[in-house]
Amino acid sequence: MGAGVVSADFAARPLPDRLCCVAPRRGWYYTQSFLSHKPLPVSGPEAKPIEAAIIPRSDHRISRANISDNALKVLYRLKNAGFEAYLVGGGVRDLSLGREPKDFDVATDAHPEEVKALFRNCRLIGRRFRLAHVHFGPEIIEVATFRALHDPSADEAPEGDAAAVAFEDGRIVRDNVYGTLEEDAFRRDFSVNALYYNIADFSIVDHVDGMADLERGLIRLIGDPGVRYREDPVRMLRAVRFAVKLGFRLEEETARPLPEMAPLLEQVPPARLFDEVLKLLLGGMGLETFEMLRHHGLFAVLFPQTEASLDRDEHGTALAFISRALDNTDRRIAEGKPVTPAFIFAALLWPVVREQMGELMDDEARSPNVAVQEAGREVHEAQLQRVTLPKRFGVPMREIWNLQPRLERRNRRALRLLSHPRFRAAYDFLLLRAEVHEVEQEAADWWTEAQRGEEGDGQPQSGDQAPPRRRRRRGRRSKSDTSG
Ligand code: ATP
Ligand code: MG
């Protein structure tokens, strides 16, 4: 998904009354004098502007053969209609590194309505950040109009009915003033994300020294990190995501403010954080990302209960459990197997559930079955304050937890669980718990064996704790059922 999709989520949030608004007239852009009055910060508060570099086709790696046909169609149609058209963002960054981009984003001087007029298959989305989505079956090419720079300290009265740019405590809540490519480059997040591939001559336009950072393997926030993180705290998470994904380092000024500014993430709508957490932890490098998020104090804001639990975790069981779950998920992704947010959230919050369960059992004499349900409900509710978890994942997450004490029991009655829709996930969860010695390995083996019995190729077992072969799961009374 492109930035716009994220931005659009953000846009869906109603604007509160208490806003500091800057509403330049339509067509009004920050002028050169504004820019020279306030030098464009390239790296940190004292940095000086640099000359834009134009890298000709002969000096870079981007070839049209690696750009999707649909992205090329969009670029050419814009160009042929007399507009500027560039590939930008992850497409340019990843192709320059010889990687396959996740999606292709386009930047242009055409306004959203002008883009819409050019493409029948185009929809305008987003309020905070108006964008055009050009649909080609499952592929969406996101087309963004160049945005102008803005100054949160300026205090102009709104001119029209709605403010085009709005801030709330330094956070951008609307951003619809159009500008030039140069202005657009400085409002992007990281230098390696602000490179523009020009379809007119196949050159790359670099205003922010992004090519050098690609070579150095550096994630560097454009501008003053204090201002840029405040404008959009999600940039802190994106910094970590890109560093891990590309194997890059975080530049010093980009990394330093993270622990101190991390609490700004509390102001981000939980639904947007859910999208971001999925990209972070289900992107194939979840374990490394988790470690880096913790290192920079960001994980604690996303999962405060878990962080507190990890702090109390004397024997390292909780950390080992979460790390294994994430590693497992990374491996499944590498093998092309399906993964679900329900499992990963279940794992991340399990140390908290387990602690609270223990207290309920010790202090309130609750049975394990009741304790797990009560603890699960509380932990789940508290987590929703920070990061949304849609019901379709929240319900199975709780089921995975609720099945744990029942799986530990391993008796004939428990065998009914084999047909539970969440059995497989709960069993995988139990295996992880056994790996960190939270339950006996025998419990996990018992269920492994029980499933073999279920498939009909298990060996007959003896003894109390042996899983007997199941006869039949469903339709036992149905005479017509001969499938077994
Ligand atoms: P990928 O698609 O591989 O996750 P990407 O860099 O393309 O990486 P997108 O979320 O698709 O990321 O965003 C496209 C581009 O939009 C980014 O490269 C960046 O230039 C800009 N962008 C996205 N989000 C932000 C943001 N929060 N602040 C500033 N610029 C952003
Ligand atoms: Mg992208």
Ligand 1 close to Cβ of residue 128 (< 6 A): no
Q: Where are the domains of the chain?
A: 3-264, 303-455
Residues paired with residue 131 on neighbouring β-strands, in sequence order: 125
Whether the CB of 286 sits within 6 Å of ligand 1: no
Tell me the CA–centroid distance for residue 194 and ligand 1, in Å: 9
Of these residues, 9, 109, 184, 189, which one is catalytic? Answer: 189
- Is 105 noted as a catalytic residue in this protein? yes
103 lines ligand 1 (CB under 6 A): yes
Is the pTM of the predicted complex or chain greater than 0.85?
no
pLDDT at 37: 28
Q: Which residue from 345, 138, 330 is spatially nearest to 245, judged by alpha carbons?
A: 330
Residue range 3-264, CATH number = 3.30.460.10
Q: Return d(Cα 475, Cα 484) in angstroms, integer.
A: 9
Q: How far is the CA of 171 from the centre of ligand 1 (A)?
A: 17
Minimum-distance ligand to the CA of 5?
Answer: 1
Just give the CATH number of 303-455. 1.10.3090.10
- Tens digit of each residue's pLDDT, the chain (484 residues): 333 332 323 222 232 222 222 222 222 222 222 223 233 444 444 444 556 899 999 999 999 999 999 999 999 999 999 999 999 999 999 999 999 999 999 999 999 999 999 999 999 998 878 999 999 999 999 999 999 876 555 544 344 435 566 777 777 667 778 999 999 999 999 999 999 999 999 999 999 999 999 999 999 999 999 999 999 999 999 999 999 999 999 999 999 999 999 999 999 999 999 999 999 999 999 999 999 999 999 999 999 999 999 999 999 999 999 999 999 999 999 999 999 999 999 999 999 999 999 999 999 999 999 999 999 999 999 999 999 999 999 999 999 999 999 999 887 888 889 889 899 999 999 999 999 999 999 999 999 988 887 765 444 343 344 554 444 444 433 333 333 2
Out of 105, 206, 213, 330, the active site residue is 105
Residue type present at position 290: F
Q: Is 311 a catalytic residue?
A: no
Distance 189 CA to ligand 1 centre (A): 7
Is residue 270 within 8 Å of 278, Cβ to Cβ?
A: no
Task: Determine which residue's CA is closest to atom 21 belonging to ligand 1.
Answer: 188
Alpha carbon of 256 to ligand 2 centroid (Å): 26
Q: Is 59 a catalytic residue?
A: no
pLDDT tens for each residue of 183-223 = 999 999 999 999 999 999 999 999 999 999 999 999 999 99
2 ligand 1 Cβ < 6 A: yes
Q: What is the pLDDT of residues 393-415, one digit of tens each?
A: 999 999 999 999 999 988 788 88
pLDDT of residue 419: 87
Give the span between the Cα atoms of 94 and 101, in whole angstroms.
Answer: 5
Of 229, 245, 223, the C-alpha closest to 297 is: 229
Q: What is the CA radius of gyration of the chain?
A: 27
Give how far Cα 482 sits from Cα of 17, 455, 472, 476, Å.
Answer: 66, 15, 10, 10
Vertex 8 angle, CA 7 and 12, to 5°:
120
